[in-house]
Amino acid sequence: MWQQIYDAMKDKGFVVVAVAMDTAEAARPYVDAAKPAYPCLVDRDHRVAALYGMVNVPEAVWIDENGRIARPAENAGSWDGFRRRDRTTGIMPKEDVDLIVRAKRTYMDAVRDWAINGAASRHVFDEEAARARLRPPSEDVALAHVHFRLGGHLLRTGRPDEALTHFEEARRLHPDSWTIWRQTAGRNDQGFAANADFWARVDALGESRYYPRVDMEGMP
Amino acid sequence: MAVVLTDQGEFEAAPRRSPPGLWLNTRDLARITGFEAKPEGFCKGDICVPVPHGVARYVDEAGNIDAAAFWRHIGNVAVRDKAGEVWAFGAGAGERAQALETLEAPDFELPDFDGRLHRLSDYRGQKVFLSSWASW
């Protein structure tokens, strides 16, 4: 997904670190097919989500040369077009296709600008602005992550029923997390966590976005 | 045997008493949580947590510690399976929020698809675009 930008920017002190919020077995075919040149890590327990406040994919954090957060966790340039696709014909209105392209391009241009200009990029937040955009966890969210971790262990050690009770608790305690919800959800015919329950949950968002707007000039 | 999952890894320990609680000897407590029993309390680096006055709810007469109760007492989170054989210990909201507030990117170690471990801090000196994805 990020191969092009990595290839273009890797000589400018820029690296992509991709983290799969997933099991290695499920994610491996994608990595084997795409063979990204940048590091691809497996985070079956969603540790990085817990540390940075990530709640969906794709999200990204910009981290500068000194290991400081330049942009906290946010939607990495996706647009909600999939919600406007006709669920029978699969057809998406042209304006949404255009908005998907525009959102992605706007975001990619910003990443490129940061890769080239570093701290001088206009897309880097100052400390106050960065702090204001952090997603510090609530007590419930912290608890959700240990339930999720425990559930994952129980699932791997052959105790799916007990795992499910902890997954359900994690979902209840952290309702904003799509990563926890979808990781533990049923799959549709194509093997994706996009069954009827998923669509009901997406529809319940109403006017809220599945991919929240990226706080960036020119972003739809 | 009990299994304890923490941010540092997976640990095995022999509980000294049955649940509720995860009763460990001080050596296992130190191995799993990093907190060592000292005269001034339980200490990790410069931080010491005094044992509360009177009957400490998480220390018994034999000197065993309910690691789960202790862990929660210092603001963290711990949950367990029904049998009390598997525990998950994590940082509390306060610690996570404090870490984020500094704007220092929290470090972590994860394997790649060949099992090789990477730390975020291995990439210090570069601009890191840390991105999430999933197959689902």
Which of A19, A49, A173, A66 is CA-nearest to residue B113? A19
Q: Tokens for A18, please give them.
A: 């991709």
Q: Supply the pLDDT for residue B40.
A: 87
Q: Supply the pLDDT for residue B126.
A: 98
Task: Say which residue the tokens 């920017």 belong to.
Answer: A9
Q: Supply the pLDDT for residue A39.
A: 98
Structural domains of chain A, with CATH: 3-132 (3.40.30), 139-203 (no CATH)
| CB-CB neighbours of A25 under 10 Å | 10
Output the average pLDDT for chain A.
Answer: 97
Q: Which residues of A touch B107 (CB under 8 A)?
A: 67
Q: Supply the pLDDT for residue B53.
A: 58
Q: CA-CA distances (angstroms) from residue A10 to A37, A117, B110?
A: 10, 13, 22
B82 CB burial (10 A radius; 0-12, 13-18, 19+):
exposed
User: Rounded mean pLDDT of A16-37?
Assistant: 97
d(CA B7, CA B26): 20
A-B Cβ pairs (cutoff 8 Å, strict): 218
For chain B (136 residues), the mean pLDDT of every run of 10, in chain order, is 96 95 96 94 91 70 92 96 97 97 98 98 98 98
Which of A45, A39, A64, A16 is CA-nearest to residue B130? A16
CB contact under 8 A, B132 and A142: no
d(CA A7, CA A89): 37
d(CA A120, CA A74): 20
C-alpha B31 chain-centroid distance: 10
Q: Supply the pLDDT for residue A84.
A: 94
Nearest to A39 among B104, B118, B135 (CB): B118
Q: Supply the pLDDT for residue A81.
A: 95
User: Rounded mean pLDDT of A74-84?
Assistant: 97
Q: Which residues of A touch B130 (CB under 8 A)?
A: 17, 19, 48, 52, 60-63
Q: Supply the pLDDT for residue A1.
A: 81
pLDDT in tens, A123-155: 999 999 999 999 999 999 999 999 999 999 999
Q: Tokens for B110, please give them.
A: 């994860």
Of the residues A150, A182, A183, the best mutation for testing chain B's interface (the one with the most B CB atoms within 10 Å of its CB) is A150
ipTM: 0.97
Phi-psi region of B115 (alpha: psi -120 to 50; beta: other; left: phi over 0): left
Element (H, E) at B88: strand B86-90
